[in-house]
Chains A and B, each alone.
Chain A
């Protein structure tokens, strides 16, 4: 157990290092620096600007320099917004994205699991069909289409929610639902198929034969095992909510890290692209690590002895 967690942490660190290196190299493979867009810049000034951001040094030098700063959690300055640093941006804007993300995770779990249970217990009946149709739609309708539809009906047509901005609970509702759409569908599908699997096991028959009421069998015996696959889905769930936030925050005009990231892509603000990508990657790797550890804790059948 301890051995497994140790191994898992080591491999996470290696993954993190690899991701940072690949991201760094990709960002430096971009043709034309951030200052080449501005053609009016006199060569002398451009040279000075490049020296300011160390762009005149070798890639290897820049890599070492970047890593050194990274160890101090210093992601460098923004190249477009003077006086702003990347870590300050993350510090200011990530809490909003995180708040949105947490609500979305809660919605998808609180709706997805009961939907999955209902559809598994009423297999073949109308409840099952309704849930499966909804789930298929949830997976196939792209999040930005779903989000614009929500926006159009509830903001433009009905005017129930504020059109833009951030601060109150009403601002969170629609974007969180839009973000939760496809994960909810996935969770209900996973819950359904795993519960259907578990329900046919011998120990469930034993529990029924003992004369336990259906509710106890389902909620005490079946569900415990059926929810294990849902735990493994938590990693992809967080990833999908994170990438989803890029478009959702743009549509609902939320000043979060996702929309900042999209803006930095438009501005070719390399230090921000690099820094935010590394931040997202680190965040996901840590989440995956936690999910993996939780998975071993909840499923004692797994003995990792690879």
Chain B
């Protein structure tokens, strides 16, 4: 039986009110969304400002200062902090302010270069393991497990001993040793992300358009797990800085006259009982850097990690 529908059953919809159906909030990309969240996080923003300030200071500071980090002046040893020498001088009469800033430079560069090398190795390793899966994945991840079970410090010490040459300032060795020992964490994260991402339709679409595997990994998969990658990257910078200062402290770091924050702390061990400021300033700088990187990394994780969203 057919239901009879009267025209009266219907009534025309009134004209829409202005803007009722419009989307009020402009749609945001993932990165805009993350940036907004990050801006709301005061601790992270303060840390970011501190880091930017330190970068500028350690680049500009030594340039405009009338002292340099390597000229000895034995008549001016162990001067107390003053207007002339903001942080005082060390045993050889070198200005500590400039030495601490150049040390900060070295620490920054170590952190960033090591993180960059880890990024490349970790992404490719994790990407290949996750993408091919099966036996390849199994073997590659077992190797990661083996490396992971031994503390990185032990590897880095061995690598540094093996790489040690008397010429040069030793910086290159540190880059290499740190660069090839921190990528395991990155590789695990990238692999985990890619395992889930590779099932998605856009990969199928790219495949059916004839994309090669290398293109799939580099152009499609890795850019889509950039969030966790950046968080891991930010967290690996302070650990690289930390390991470098640890190495310098046990005498495997940069060679004199170049100084890193770790070697400045280590040098001052001989005389800090009489001149505590020689230890205080490099140690303080190191702590500020570590604190700022860690707090910024925490904020970044909250902003970028979708799992943390409420």
Which A residues are CB-close (under 8 A) to B165?
31
- Name the segment of B60-68, B126-134, B243-251 touching the other chain: B243-251
Interface of chain B residues 238 through 297 with chain A (CB within 8 A): 238, 242, 245-246, 249-252, 265-266, 269, 272-273, 276, 279, 283, 286-287, 290-291, 294-295
Q: A265 touching B252 by the CB < 8 A rule?
A: yes
> Whole-angstrom distance between the alpha carbons of A66 and B158 in the complex?
18
* Smallest beta-carbon distance B278→chain A, Å: 11
> Whole-angstrom distance between the alpha carbons of A26 and B272 in the complex?
36
Of all chain A residues, the one with the shortest Cβ separation from B153 is A243
Which B residues are CB-close (under 8 A) to A14?
146
Q: A288 touching B158 by the CB < 8 A rule?
A: no
Identify the 9 closest CB pairs spanning chains A and B, nearest first. Answer: A140-B290, A243-B153, A145-B283, A239-B151, A140-B291, A26-B158, A262-B250, A15-B146, A29-B162
Q: B290 touching A30 by the CB < 8 A rule?
A: no
A18 at the interface (CB under 8 A from B): yes
Q: A156 touching B273 by the CB < 8 A rule?
A: yes
The majority secondary structure among interface residues of chain A is helix
The residues of A with any CB-CB pair to B shorter than 8 Å are: 11, 14-15, 18-19, 23, 26-27, 29-31, 136-137, 139-142, 144-145, 148-149, 152, 156, 239-240, 242-243, 246-247, 250-251, 262, 265-266, 268, 273, 277, 280-281, 284-285, 288
Q: A152 touching B276 by the CB < 8 A rule?
A: yes
B197 at the interface (CB under 8 A from A): no
Q: A247 touching B294 by the CB < 8 A rule?
A: no
Which B residues are CB-close (under 8 A) to A18?
146
Q: A19 touching B162 by the CB < 8 A rule?
A: no
Which A residues are CB-close (under 8 A) to B159?
26
Q: B294 touching A140 by the CB < 8 A rule?
A: yes
Of all chain A residues, the one with the shortest Cβ separation from B165 is A31
Q: B276 touching A281 by the CB < 8 A rule?
A: no
Q: A140-B290, A243-B154 are in contact. Are A266 and B251 (CB under 8 A)?
A: yes
> Whole-angstrom distance between the alpha carbons of A18 and B291 in the complex?
36
> Whole-angstrom distance between the alpha carbons of A64 and B253 in the complex?
33
Q: A246-B250, A265-B161, A277-B154 are in contact. Are A142 and B290 (CB under 8 A)?
A: yes
B145 at the interface (CB under 8 A from A): yes
- 25 CB contacts below 8 A, A to B, read A19-B146, A26-B159, A140-B287, A140-B290, A140-B291, A141-B290, A142-B242, A142-B290, A144-B246, A144-B249, A144-B266, A145-B286, A148-B279, A148-B283, A152-B273, A152-B276, A239-B151, A240-B151, A247-B246, A262-B251, A265-B157, A265-B251, A265-B252, A281-B154, A284-B150
B149 at the interface (CB under 8 A from A): yes
Q: B151 touching A242 by the CB < 8 A rule?
A: yes
* Smallest beta-carbon distance B23→chain A, Å: 34
B164 at the interface (CB under 8 A from A): yes
Of all chain A residues, the one with the shortest Cβ separation from B293 is A140
Q: A142 touching B246 by the CB < 8 A rule?
A: yes
* Smallest beta-carbon distance A289→chain B, Å: 10
Which B residues are CB-close (under 8 A) to A280?
154
* Smallest beta-carbon distance B239→chain A, Å: 11
Interface of chain B residues 186 through 244 with chain A (CB within 8 A): 238, 242
